[in-house]
Structure 1
Amino acid sequence: MDLLKFIYSNVLSATTPTGVFDVLMAADKFEVASCMRYCSLLLQNLLMTTESALLYLDLPSNKLMADDVQLLTNAAKKFLAAHFMDITNFQEEVFSLPLLGIEVVLSSDDLQVASEDAVYDIALKNLRKVIMCNDFDPELASKLVIEALFYKEEAPNWQRSIAAEAENALHHCYVQRAYKYRPVKALHFEMPRQQCIIYLDLK
């Protein structure tokens, strides 16, 4: 009914995120692009919650083809990343999110953590969920988890080398993110004698 009203009067009765989202789904089903655009812009301006952001993230792929709907998905990602920025204080809440929401939070460059180690330790607690979920092929999930674990065990110089290769290959699994606090850098030398030099970024 709301969709028909919009088609004939360019006005939408629905005002709640759920109501507007239902109209968006109907507009997509019947390919009413102007209504999809209107609903998407309206949803971006309405108060977003974790629940509504997850709803927008879960739009089927055909809806993401529309630029305006992609903007809504991007807004949902920004909301979740900002909401869970201090991930150390929201671990339980983050783990209760669907896998897509967890991915958005963990891949954010704005996490307030001292180093990648903090994110890694938090992610370790969630690896079982990644392996057991039905979102990935079990063989692929196991391969990615094992690959990540082996990467973490490499010496720092090998980690930098692997990250550089990944960046050159446009594969960003191992690229360091920006941090609020820069991690300590340690250089190990074998010659002329065994020693280790520690660098601290005091900025």
Structure 2
Amino acid sequence: MELLNFMYSGTLNASTAPALLDVLMAADKFEVASCMRHCSRLLRNLAMTPESALLYLDLPSSVLMADAVQPLTDAAKQFLAARYKDISKYQDEVMNLPLAGIEAILSSDDLQVASEDAVYDFVLKWTRTHYQKLEERRDILSSRLGRYIRFPYMTCRKLRKVLTCSDFDHDFATKSVLDALFFKAEAPHRQRTHAIEEST
């Protein structure tokens, strides 16, 4: 009924997150983009909580892919990233987050960690907690979470551990470590080249 009401009057009576999400889903089903945009805007204006942010990120993929909903999912990701930017401070809470929440946090440039080694350790710990089967862990680490670990900024000691870690797909681990080592080797070379160019 709310969807029909919107189509005829351009307004909604729904004002709570669950009611707006129901309308959003119906609008997606019947491809009423203007209603999806309106619901998305109203949901963004509600107070965001970790639960609501995770709920928005857990919408069906057809809804998540809609341009009208993108600002809502972006806001949810930004909320989670800002709230949990210091993952060591909220480690218990963060360990209980689902994959979408972890991706939102790890994709943030504002993540506050002691080192990239800590990110690696956290990702490994989280994955082992949520994915008991080795094949599932390998898949999640290789296809979803591994991209958020900045291997070039890890210590060489930790990179050695990556190579021997059975949780990572061997090819993924090898490529990541080799890329990191090449990066580390090139950085001093670039610095020397730059210094020589400046002195001449």
TM-score of the pair, normalised by structure 2: 0.68
Higher helix share: 2
Contact 2:80 2:101 in 1 (8 A): yes
Residues 1:61 and 2:61 aligned together: yes
Pairs within 5 Å for 1:7-156: 7-129=7-129, 131-132=131-132, 138=136, 140-141=138-139, 144=142, 152-154=158-160
2:142 partner SS: helix
Q: Distance in 2 between the 1:5 and 1:143 partners?
A: 45
Gapped regions of structure 1 (runs ≥ 5): 168-186, 188-203
CA contact 1:130–1:141 (8 Å) conserved in 2: no
Deviation at residue 88 of structure 1 after TM alignment: 0.8
Query: Deviation digits for residues 104-163 of structure 1, max 9, x if unmatched?
Result: 212322112221122223223223135437xx9638428739x889x83339xx978514
Residues 19-60 of structure 1: per-residue CA shift (max 9 Å, x gap) = 111110111111111111110111112111111111111122
In the alignment, the residues of structure 2 paired with residue 110 and residue 100 of structure 1 have an alpha-carbon distance, to the nearest angstrom, of 17
Cα displacement (A) at 1:13: 0.5
Distance 1:74 1:115 in 2: 26
1:82-123 residue CA offsets vs partner (Å, 9 max, x unmatched) = 011121110110111112211221232211222112222322
- Contact 2:27–2:36, Cα closer than 8 Å, also in 1: yes
Name the counterpart of 2:179: 162
| Equivalent pair of 1:84/1:90 in contact (CA under 8 Å) | yes
What RMSD in Å do the two structures reach over aligned CA positions? 3.4
Q: Distance in 2 between matches of 1:161 and 1:138?
A: 24
Q: Secondary structure at the match of 2:111?
A: coil
Structure 2 vs 1, CA of residues 64 and 86 (structure 1 numbering), >3 Å: closer, same or farther? same
Aligned-pair identity (%): 57
Contiguous gaps of at least 5 residues in structure 2: 162-174, 189-200
Contact 1:53 1:76 in 2 (8 A): yes
Query: Which segments of structure 1 move beyond 3 Å, counting only runs of 4 or more?
Result: 142-145, 158-161
SS in 1 for 2:25: helix
- 1:75 to 1:140, Cα distance in 2 relative to 1, 3 A: same
Q: Conserved in 1, the CA contact under 8 Å of 2:128 and 2:137?
A: no
Structure number with the higher strand fraction is 1
